[in-house]
């Protein structure tokens, strides 16, 4: 099971979808062949009654499959929404820290402003990077956080007697906390074992459809059903991959913040200008 989970993690979504579809077709025709070989109808049984019972079983299995898909989709969407919310919160925290930095005396004002501006740019790049390209950006991210807190500590002596003294380290610590939250949110994913069991259930369901002869009687309809199930599974997998999927949380709040910081250097806040 562990090997399957690792394969699921490293394999592109389109490959998983194509393989699942092929396995569903194979399972459906295997079920159809098994029905043909194992079918032993008693003389008193009616074909209509058997078909009716089979229809009830298939309906129950498909209903349970839809429930499992919906439940897994809900889990993936909840995690996606949490990641998207954190982007907005982080943009607000960085922007607030930048404004508080303008209350400091030089050279602390320019130092903190520069660090925050570079940090915002790096966060945008990190949010758009793939898992393979994120390594150097994460190293730079952690280094900038250390520099940011060092700059805050250096500037604190000059503002500790002012009314906003406690607010400066507070807003900076919020930036650091949100970095940790975003990292944790990227690892808070639907367990791979859930997807493994879901794939197994999808394939077994296809085999049952073949066993009740739905494949041979309604090829087009069943094929369309298979496509829909595979597309649903691929959609859930893609949403649950923040580093490698096609559906990713928007970085627009951070992009807007980055552009704003570029247009508003520290000297633009000088009141005598």
For residues 197 and 4, the answer to whether their CB atoms sit within 8 Å is: no
The mean of the pLDDT values for the chain is 85
How much is the pLDDT for 42?
45
pLDDT grade, residue 162 (50/70/90)? confident
pLDDT grade, residue 233 (50/70/90)? very high
Least confident of 10-19, 22-31, 54-63, 108-117: 54-63
CA–CA distance from 145 to each of 39, 104, 122, 273 (Å)?
69, 19, 11, 32
User: pTM of the predicted model, to two decimals?
Assistant: 0.83
Tell me: pLDDT of 209 over 90: no
CA 217 – CA 35 distance, rounded (Å): 13
b/e burial code for range 190-222 (CB count within 10 A of at least 16 → b): bebebbeebbeebbebbbbbbbbbbbeeeeeeb
Q: What is the CA radius of gyration of the chain?
A: 28
pLDDT grade, residue 215 (50/70/90)? low
For residues 227 and 48, the answer to whether their CB atoms sit within 8 Å is: no
């Amino acid at each position: 099971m562990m090997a399957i989970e690792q394969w699921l993690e490293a394999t592109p979504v389109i490959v998983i979808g194509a393989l699942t579809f092929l396995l569903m077709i194979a399972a459906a025709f295997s079920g159809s062949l098994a029905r043909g070989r194992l079918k032993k109808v008693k003389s008193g049984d009616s074909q209509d009654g058997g078909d009716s019972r089979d229809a009830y079983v298939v309906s129950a299995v498909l209903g349970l499959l839809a429930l499992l898909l919906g439940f897994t989709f809900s889990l993936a969407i909840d995690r996606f929404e949490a990641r998207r919310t954190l982007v907005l919160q982080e943009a607000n925290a960085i922007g607030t820290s930048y404004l508080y930095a303008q209350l400091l005396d030089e050279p602390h004002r320019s130092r903190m402003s520069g660090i925050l501006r570079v940090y915002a740019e790096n966060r945008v790049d990190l949010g758009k990077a793939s898992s393979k390209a994120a390594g150097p950006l994460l190293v730079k991210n952690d280094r900038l956080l250390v520099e940011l807190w060092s700059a805050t500590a250096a500037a604190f002596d000059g503002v500790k007697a002012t009314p906003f003294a406690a607010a400066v380290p507070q807003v900076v610590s919020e930036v650091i906390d949100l970095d940790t939250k975003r990292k944790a949110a990227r690892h808070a994913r639907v367990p791979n074992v859930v997807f493994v069991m879901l794939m197994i259930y999808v394939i077994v369901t296809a085999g049952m459809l073949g066993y009740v002869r739905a494949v041979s009687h309604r090829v087009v309809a069943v094929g369309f059903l298979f496509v829909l199930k595979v597309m649903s599974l691929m959609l859930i997998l893609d949403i649950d991959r923040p580093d490698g999927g096609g559906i990713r949380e928007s970085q627009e709040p951070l992009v807007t913040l980055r552009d704003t910081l570029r247009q508003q250097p520290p000297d633009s806040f000088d009141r005598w200008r």
